[in-house]
């Protein structure tokens, strides 16, 4: 069994930790690239969401490297993600590609289904080993998130952005290789010490919240490296979703004390009074949350044709009206042009800056 799984930002580090500590053999797809897009777009349905296309590209590239089993998450609706694996399986079958698909999702009829799938992956390893592996993967997720949060804070502030990016990449690599929690703690501490010594610009910086569908928020390739673009334009970005928060809510049922989206969900009413699948409700709630914390603007990202985010986007003008917070939405797919995104970002940053200046004068 040579397992592969789709890329989503730095998730690969977390899943790698999980699977290798169970002694499973992995074939990681090459980092998502233009070729991945090309492959995915060629075989996926035209109006499928961007993540499905990228996933499919990942699988096809991993297949070339010898993967024979796909590990996927699933769901039971109404967001299309819950049916990804089924559609992807049909596409692969028509391409004559035989790959086993293990889809981990909330069981439809009984928990035995899920248990069987995990058992299949575990082979003759014990459940205790699984628990230990999950714990280790969790530490990695936390380490990645702490570093990312710090990078988001630092990007607009550092004098030498390139130095920061290089260090960031190096740290991710070291987290990926770290054999135990002690080493992880050391790496994170080391990075924080390093970040203290970085020469910084002075002044105040614009703050933008990033909301939207989880894949397009977390995968820089899908969002055209939006966080870094904003950082270079002098904007500190706060993400509404982090990997560890998501894992805590979906895997640990919110038992751990990590900032999640529960709070945001509550803030969505009265603008959005129902769940709408995906992260639609969280998108609206997080926008309210950022508005209340006096952020300068909110950016929403979503795959083109994403249903929950279209609902969220539809109601955002009402939030803007009540709180005066500007919002900008990007629908992303293989057709999105880099230049267009950069131009719209620059215009939005100008807008945020002008608004802040205006408010400063009014408050004087």
Partner 1 sequence: MVTLGIPRALLFYYYYPLWRAFFTNLGVQVIVSPVTNKKILDSGLHTALDEACLPVKLFFGHVLALADRVDYLFVPRLISVEHKAYICPKFMGLPDMLRARLPHLPPIIDLPVDFHRPGPTLDDFFEAVGSIFTQDRLLIRKAFQSAHETHQQFQKLLESGLLPPEAISVFEDEEVTHRRGQDNFLKIGLLGHAYNLYDPFISMDLIGKLRKMDASVITADSLPPDLIEQRVKRLPKRLFWTLGKKMLGAALNFFENKQLDGIIYLTSFGCGPESFVGELVERWAKRRGVLPLMLLTIDEHTGEAGLVTRLEAFLEMIKRRKKNENHLSTYG
- Binding footprint of partner 1 on the chain (CB under 8 A): 45-49, 76-80, 82-83, 85-87, 89-91, 94, 108, 271-278, 280, 304-308, 310-318, 331
Q: Between 47 and 128, whose beta carbon lies closer to partner 1?
A: 47
Q: Between 136 and 215, whose beta carbon lies closer to partner 1?
A: 215
Q: What is the DSSP letter of 288?
A: H
Rounded Cα distance, 302 and 280, in Å = 10
Q: Between 195 and 283, whose beta carbon lies closer to partner 1?
A: 283
Q: Is the dihedral of CA 254, 310, 108, 218 positive or negative?
A: negative
Tokens of 235: 């904007």
Is it true that the peptide bond before 270 is cis, omega within 30 degrees of 0? yes
Rounded to the nearest whole angstrom, what is the least distance from the CB of residue 114 to partner 1 in the complex? 13
Rounded to the nearest whole angstrom, what is the least distance from the CB of residue 301 to partner 1 in the complex? 13
Rounded to the nearest whole angstrom, what is the least distance from the CB of residue 43 to partner 1 in the complex? 11
- Measured in degrees and rounded to the nearest 5, phi and psi for residue 273 equal -105, 20
Rounded to the nearest whole angstrom, what is the least distance from the CB of residue 28 to partner 1 in the complex? 26
SS (H, E, C) 148-186: HHHHHHHCCCECCHHHHHHHHHHHHHHHHHCCCHHHHHH
Exposure pattern of 71-102 as b/e (b: 16+ CB <10 Å)?
Answer: bbbbbeeebbbbebbeebbebbeeeeeebeeb
Q: Between 11 and 328, whose beta carbon lies closer to partner 1?
A: 328
Tokens of 356: 């802040």
Rounded to the nearest whole angstrom, what is the least distance from the CB of residue 276 to partner 1 in the complex? 4
Q: Between 108 and 362, whose beta carbon lies closer to partner 1?
A: 108
């Amino acid at each position: 069994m040579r397992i592969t799984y789709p890329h989503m930002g730095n998730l690969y580090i977390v899943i790698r930790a999980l699977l290798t500590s169970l002694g499973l053999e992995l074939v990681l797809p090459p980092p998502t690239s233009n070729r991945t897009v090309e492959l995915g777009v060629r075989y996926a349905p035209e109006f499928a969401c961007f993540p499905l296309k990228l996933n499919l590209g990942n699988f096809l590239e991993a297949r070339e490297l010898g993967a024979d089993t796909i590990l996927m998450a699933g769901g039971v609706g109404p967001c299309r993600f819950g049916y990804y694996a089924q559609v992807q399986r049909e596409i692969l079958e028509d391409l004559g590609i035989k790959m086993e698909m293990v889809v981990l999702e909330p069981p439809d009829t009984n928990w035995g289904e899920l248990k069987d799938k995990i058992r299949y992956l575990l082979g003759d390893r014990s459940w205790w080993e699984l628990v230990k592996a999950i714990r280790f993967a969790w530490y990695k997720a936390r380490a990645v998130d702490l570093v990312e949060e710090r990078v988001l804070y630092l990007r607009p502030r550092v004098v030498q952005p390139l130095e920061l990016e290089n260090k960031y990449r190096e740290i991710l690599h070291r987290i990926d290789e770290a054999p135990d929690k002690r080493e992880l703690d050391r790496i994170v501490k080391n990075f924080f010490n390093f970040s203290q010594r970085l020469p910084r610009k002075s002044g105040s910086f614009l703050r933008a919240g990033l909301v939207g569908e989880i894949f397009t928020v977390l995968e820089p390739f899908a969002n055209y490296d939006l966080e870094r673009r904003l950082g270079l334009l002098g904007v500190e970005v706060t993400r509404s979703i982090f990997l560890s928060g998501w894992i805590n809510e979906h895997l640990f049922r919110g038992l751990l004390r990590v900032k999640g989206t529960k709070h945001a969900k509550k803030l969505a009413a009265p603008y959005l009074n129902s769940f709408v699948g995906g992260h639609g409700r969280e998108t609206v709630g997080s926008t309210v949350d950022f508005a209340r914390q006096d952020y300068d603007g909110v950016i929403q990202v979503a795959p083109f044709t994403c249903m929950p985010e279209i609902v969220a986007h539809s109601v955002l003008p009402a939030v803007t009206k009540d709180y005066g917070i500007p919002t900008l939405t990007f629908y992303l797919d293989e057709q999105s042009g880099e230049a267009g995104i950069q131009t719209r970002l620059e215009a939005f940053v100008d807008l945020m800056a002008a608004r802040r200046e205006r408010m400063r004068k009014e408050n004087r």
